Amino acid sequence: MINSSRALVFWALLAIPQLGLAHSPIEGIDKFYSGLLHPAFVPAHLLLLLALGLFIGQRGAKDNELAILVFSVAVTVGLIAAWFSIGGEIEVLILGVAASVGILILASFSAGRYWCALIAALAGLLLGMDSAQDTLSGKEKFVSLLGSGLGIYLLFLYPLALADTFNKKFWQTIGVRVFGSWIAASSLLVLALSYLSV
Amino acid sequence: MKHFRFMTIGAIVLTFAGAASAHESAGIAGGFISGFLHPILGWDHVVAMVAVGLWGAFLGSPAIWILPVVFPLVMAFGGALGVMGVPIPAVETGIAASAVVLGAMVAIAARPPIWVAALIVGVFAIFHGHAHGTELPNAASPLAYSIGFVISTGLLHLSGIAFGLLVRWPAGKIAVRAAGGAIALAGIGFLTGAV
């Protein structure tokens, strides 16, 4: 009887399997990793990074090394500002820049290298400033911001490399312009929603 | 004793209760998925989007990319009107009419100037955008929702373009025009409520 009860408990427990996660969820993971994933999990950041990468890649990475350098410096400055909690709710600004850059991609607007650098500086600064996670402080915040910096650079470099590599054939250049229109459309819609909730 | 054992088993089983979700989807992923599915789950949206791609491919360059680029931008404008609660009369009729007109353009092999084609597509994009936009404030993540439905719309255009590229062959041209005719008929069905 005891054995049958044990068997019953065993089968009852087997009947309620829980979800097995191959990767850690974002809550409870290491602060550096959480920071690294931050730009990928905030849609506004992701849109701006995609837009900026495609924008500079569309104009050639070699011709716009200055913009890439300026972006790196601006992100660092923005992250320092985030460390000191400078800046408030700037997601609307990020979306505004993403929409504008999306339209520039779509128009295939031939911006000079200094214009590209200026746009990269603005984008980098905004992304860095908006990377602080409210619940963190002290060493945890510092480590998280380091992760965010790395995440931002990586997510900027991927679309840049793609747009720079795939700009030889006509359909490839069109593909980049179509992506630009999608980024602009998504950003504009949420800007309208933000405007409504102000 | 027997009842005690069953109660023990019941108590153990109860400790494994899973989380109850009030909504089917939540957060960024949920917002993206619901936005992505919104155009796909409505036949009226699907056929009209495919017709945009078909017509673009039928007209050739530069319409093949200008029409699918104009559409999401103007759709965003329509969506913004929907988000802000600006009423547009007969949105559903406009969406159904888009299937009729765009399908008919492909069926009759209409070749208007590119700006006329863009204007026609743009006007109908406002109706489609408005329909999506009214759902936006209720989405789990509005930005993820809008990214989802813009990508989904773009992929529907792409499927239309892919089929429309058959116009390179004589038999393909007939198939593409027949598809346009079928879309127009479906649009008539939506308008009359038959579909």
Tell me the pLDDT tens digit for each residue of B69-123. Answer: 899 889 988 988 888 888 888 888 999 999 999 999 999 999 999 999 999 999 9
For B40, half-sphere exposure in the C-beta direction (CA atoms, 13 angstrom radius) is 15
The rounded distance, in Å, linking the Cα atoms of B154 and A106 is 14
Q: Average the pLDDT over each of A179-193, B15-29, B58-72, B115-129 and give the range with the smallest value.
A: B15-29
- Rounded to a whole number of angstroms, the distance from the CA of A16 to the nearest CA of chain B is 7
Domain boundaries along the sequence of chain A: 30-197
pLDDT tens digits along B4-26: 665 666 666 555 554 444 444 45
For an interface test with B, give the residue of A190, A191, A195, A196 to mutate (most B CBs within 10 A): A190
Cα separation, B36 vs A129, whole angstroms: 30
pLDDT band at residue A27, thresholds of 50, 70 and 90? low
What secondary structure does DSSP assign to A42-90, as a single string? SHHHHHHHHHHHHHHHHT-TGGGHHHHHHHHHHHHHHHHHHHTT-----
Tell me, yes or no, if A87 comes closer than 8 A to chain B by beta carbon.
no
Q: Which of A8, A27, A171, A186 would best serve as a mutation to test chain B binding (most B beta carbons within 10 A)?
A: A186
Domain assignment present for B1:
no
* pLDDT of res. A56: 94
Which residues of chain B lie closer than 8 angstroms to A13, CB-CB? 12-13, 16
Q: Which one, of A129, A69, A146, lies nearest residue A93 by Cα?
A: A129
Q: Tokens 């660092």 — which residue? A: A76
On chain B, the residues whose CB falls within 8 A of the CB of A44 are: 143
Helices H, strands E: what count in chain A?
8, 0
Q: CB–CB of A106 and B133 under 8 A? A: no
Mean model confidence pLDDT for chain B? 84
In a domain, B178, yes or no: yes
| DSSP 8-state secondary structure symbol assigned to residue B167 | G
Note the pLDDT of residue B16: 54
In a domain, B63, yes or no: yes
| Report field, pTM of the whole predicted structure over 0.80 | no
Q: How many domains does chain B have?
A: 1
Backbone angles phi, psi at B25, to 5 degrees: -140, 150
Domain of B130 in residue numbering reads as 27-192
- Statement: residue A22 has pLDDT above 50: no
Q: Is the pLDDT of residue A191 over 90?
A: no
Provide the pLDDT for residue B159: 92
Q: What is the dihedral of CA B83, B89, B93, B99, to 10 degrees?
A: -60
